[in-house]
């Protein structure tokens, strides 16, 4: 069984020691990171992990997936069939004829999204999928005190795509979301 985490880092570089410690002490196989803040030409290494990344030119925002060495994966190419201001990276792990896609996502708070943006991301990931990130989406379903258009889009996407929201426990207003296809149970 894979151990997966999602974290809104707000700079994985300045939090690198804490992240490295958490990864090794918790035997994390896959780490979905939003707001990684890596610069495009910056070499960043986490001992024992390979990285799939999408960086913004200014070194802010950004997303990454850290995959434990020894796990074979392929990169998912998100070709821009959705709003390019939504930052996405993905990888696919295969075992025989089965595969699981992992997607890390960051949607800045001032960026407009549509249901078709989210559908395009799900379609590109295909099959069984785990998506984690900072959607800047609000709904009482995941503990927010208010609801917004992005929150309604995410709820509609979950319903039509058979996705299950995994967040549980006490929530903050700044809440990363993680969900997966129900058939992964």
In total, how many domains does the chain have? 1
Beta-bridge partners for 50: 67
Range of the domain at 119: 4-184
pLDDT at 175: 44
Phi, psi of 175 (to 5 degrees): -120, 115
**Which pLDDT score is estimated for 48?**
97
Q: pTM of this prediction?
A: 0.89
Tokens of 35: 């707001």
Residues (pLDDT < 50) of the chain are 169-175, 182-185
Q: Give the CATH number for residue 160.
A: 3.60.10.10
Q: Hey, what are 61's tokens? A: 């925002």
pLDDT of residue 123: 92
């Amino acid at each position: 069984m894979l151990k997966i985490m999602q974290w809104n880092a707000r700079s994985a570089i300045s939090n690198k020691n804490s992240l490295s410690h958490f990864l090794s002490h918790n035997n994390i196989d896959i780490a979905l990171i939003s707001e990684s803040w890596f610069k495009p030409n910056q070499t960043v290494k986490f001992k024992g992990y390979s990285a799939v990344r999408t960086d913004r030119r200014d070194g802010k925002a950004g997303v990454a997936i850290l995959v434990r060495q020894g796990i074979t994966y392929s990169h998912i190419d998100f070709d821009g069939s959705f709003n390019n201001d939504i930052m996405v990276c993905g990888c696919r792990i295969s075992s025989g004829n089965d595969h699981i896609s992992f997607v890390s996502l960051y949607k800045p708070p001032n960026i407009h999204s549509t249901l078709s943006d989210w559908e395009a991301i799900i379609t590109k990931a295909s099959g069984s999928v785990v998506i984690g990130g900072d959607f800047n989406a609000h709904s009482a379903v995941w503990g927010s005190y208010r609801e917004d258009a992005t929150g309604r889009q995410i709820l509609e996407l979950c319903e039509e795509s058979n996705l299950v929201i995994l967040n549980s426990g006490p929530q903050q207003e700044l809440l990363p979301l993680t969900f997966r296809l129900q058939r992964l149970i």
